[in-house]
């Protein structure tokens, strides 16, 4: 019995010290890992910030370029019929979109969805207006009708998407 008491007297404190040491070391290692991850994330964000800002800038430029007033001015309609001009406008939008497709990696899902929606709405408006104009009419007529339609809308889809992106930038940066 006395031997058992001696073992408990020396063994219990040793086991408690071992347990305490294990808990402290585990806690220390976890804190060090968290600290290392924080600094790694901070360094990554520092290098990624300019890239993300550039992505938002490129998308803002894309939205400006596909807005009707910019698109019509930038895409000449001389000598084209309505169908040819419609095709040229849609190809211009598609090319711009494909050029900026990789920017979605740096944007939130909501912001990218707004961009895709604005692009789709712009294409839809061009198609709808083109269907209301005789297909053999000069392309200038289509350009004028698109601009008239854009003026009749309170807010063109590209403006809404651009506003959303600007608000997101203000929140995040």
Residue burial 57-90, b: 16+ Cβ < 10 Å; e: rest: eebbebbebbbbeebbeebebeebbbbebbeebe
C-beta of residue 78 within 8 angstroms of C-beta of residue 37: no
Domain range summary for the chain, segments of one domain joined by +: 48-172
Instruction: Assign 114 a pLDDT band (cuts: 50, 70, 90).
Output: very high
Alpha carbon distance 166, 64 (integer Å): 13
C-beta of residue 91 within 8 angstroms of C-beta of residue 123: no
Give residues with Cβ within 8 angstroms of 159, minimum separation 6. 67
Q: Please give the model's pTM, rounded to 2 decimal places.
A: 0.76
Q: What is the average pLDDT across 76-80? A: 91
Q: For residues 46 and 121, which has the higher predicted lDDT (pLDDT)?
A: 121
Give residues with Cβ within 8 angstroms of 164, minimum separation 6. 110, 111, 114
How far apart, in Å, are the Cα atoms of 88 and each of 70, 76, 126? 14, 9, 11
What would the pLDDT profile of 117-167 be if each residue is shown by its tens digit?
999 999 999 999 999 999 889 999 999 999 999 889 878 889 999 999 999
What is the model's pLDDT at position 2?
A: 84
Cβ atoms < 10 Å from Cβ of 97 = 17
Which residue's entry shows tokens 């979109």?
97
């Amino acid at each position: 019995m006395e031997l058992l008491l001696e073992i408990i007297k020396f063994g219990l404190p040793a086991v408690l010290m071992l347990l305490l040491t294990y808990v402290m070391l585990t806690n220390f290692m976890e804190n060090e890992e968290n600290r290392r991850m924080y600094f790694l994330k901070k360094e990554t964000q520092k290098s990624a910030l300019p890239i993300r800002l550039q992505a938002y800038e490129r998308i803002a430029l894309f939205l400006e370029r596909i807005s009707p007033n910019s698109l019509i001015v930038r895409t000449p309609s001389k000598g084209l019929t309505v169908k040819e001009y419609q095709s040229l406008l849609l190809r211009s939008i598609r090319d711009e979109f494909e050029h900026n497709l990789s920017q979605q990696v740096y944007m939130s899902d909501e912001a990218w969805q707004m961009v895709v929606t604005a692009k789709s709405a712009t294409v839809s408006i061009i198609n709808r207006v083109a269907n209301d104009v005789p297909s053999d009419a000069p392309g200038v007529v289509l350009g004028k009708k698109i601009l008239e339609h854009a003026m009749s809308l309170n807010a063109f889809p590209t403006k809404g998407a651009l506003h959303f992106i600007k608000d997101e930038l203000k929140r995040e940066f």
